[in-house]
Structure 1
Amino acid sequence: MSLINTEIKPFTATAYHNGKFVDVSDADVKGKWAVFFFYPADFTFVCPTELGDLADNYAEFQKLGVEIYGVSTDTHFTHKAWHDTSDTIRKIQYPLIGDPLWTLSKNFEVLRENQGLANRGTFIVDPNGIVQAVEVTAEGIGRDAQELLRKVKAAQYVASHPGEVCPAKWKEGEATLAPSLDLVGKI
């Protein structure tokens, strides 16, 4: 079963964000675009490269009104310790949510219960709390923040332009498609 077009489930969690521990819930997510970016664990190898890439592109997401939520099954205390010891993680300005009880990892169906870790999962959520895009990759495959940014822009475009869709490799400002009987067999 896919999570596409489903509403995110209720949750409450604690995150490490800008030097503080803060509460985050599904209510905080509604009303704006969000990306939930699950990764296996702090103090690992591919994870900091991905989180650092997101940190380097965070301002672009913010310009689009998008909040990023990094999520692992580590605690918020572990997130703080990692932040305090890693130059890469220190530059992160988005919330790092601790999910030691696996609530979010189960809600988003990325939990590897036999290991207590989350798979690499990326979820774009619209302001109504509806999942618009899902990507889950194997542990060794890192993700690209620029590609995620492109997908967010496409999701936002489609949401604000009913009747239009974004073709493959669409970038902001390029032509879109308006599906109709006249287009059938012409692409």
Structure 2
Amino acid sequence: MSLINTPVKPFKAQAYKDGKFVEVSDADIKGKWAVFVFYPADFTFVCPTELEDLADNYAEFQKLGVEVFSVSTDTHFSHKAWHDTSPAIGKIKYAMIGDPTHEISRNFDILRPTGLADRGTFIVDPQGVIQGIEITAEGIGRDAKELLRKVKAAIYVANHPGEVCPAKWKEGEKTLAPSLDLVGKI
């Protein structure tokens, strides 16, 4: 069953952010857009390239009022150690959530039988409802700029009822207003 248009289930976990351990919960996403980026494990290969890409684009997400959370089944202690030893991960300013109990990974239906999370991205609206999901295989890295484009489209659609964003839509480009008149003409 798809999680699209379903609310994020309650959770509470420890995270590493801005040099501190902090508690993060579903209450922290209420009233704002959020992105959850699940990845298999700290100290791996594709994961640091993705998380660094997110770090390099984090300011753009923040300008839109979007909070970013990375999540793996590692502990918040492991996240700190990785942050302290990797130049790529050292750039991260967003919360790195530890999910050693697998509660969050199960809530997002992203937990593998091995106990690691799949490589999944979830866009969540201010009501805490999942509006976008992307899941890729282990070796396929994600692109933060493409995620940013999808978040902008989700925000646009939420703010403009009756309009939709076509393929490759970018901020400021023309949208569509679905109607009987458009059927068979696109």
State the TM-score bracket (shorter-chain normalisation): over 0.9
Partner of 1:72 in structure 2? 72
CA–CA distance in structure 1, aligned partners of residues 24 and 31 of structure 2? 14
How far has the Cα of 1:116 moved from its partner? 1.0
* C-alpha distance after superposition, 1:89-135 (max 9, x if no partner): 0000000000000001000011012x110000000000000000000
Distance 1:29 1:162 in 2: 22
Deviation (angstroms), 1:51: 0.1
Verify: 1:109 aligned to 2:109, yes or no. yes
1:39 aligns with 2:39: yes
Identical-pair percentage: 78
Count of matched residue positions in the alignment of Structure 1 and Structure 2 = 186
Partner of 1:128: 127
Question: What's 2:87 paired with?
Answer: 87
In the alignment, which residue of structure 2 is the partner of 1:176?
Answer: 175
Query: Taking structure 2 as the reference length, what is the TM-score of the superposition?
Result: 0.99
Map of 1:22 onto structure 2: 22
The CA distance in 1 between the partners of 2:150 and 2:70, in whole Å, is 17
- 2:180 is the counterpart of 1:186: no
Show structure 2 runs of 5+ residues with no match.
Answer: none
Partner Cα separation in structure 2 for residue 84 and residue 51 of structure 1: 14
CA RMSD of aligned residues (A): 0.4
Superposed structure 1 runs of 4+ greater than 3 Å apart? none
The one-letter code matched in structure 1 to 2:165 is C
Quote how far apart the aligned CAs of 1:44 are. Answer: 0.2
**AA in 1 matched with 2:40:** P
TM-score (norm 1): 0.99
The answer to whether residue 164 in structure 2 is matched with residue 165 in structure 1 is yes
CA distance in 1: counterparts of 2:11 and 2:112, whole angstroms: 19
Matching residue's letter, 1:175: K
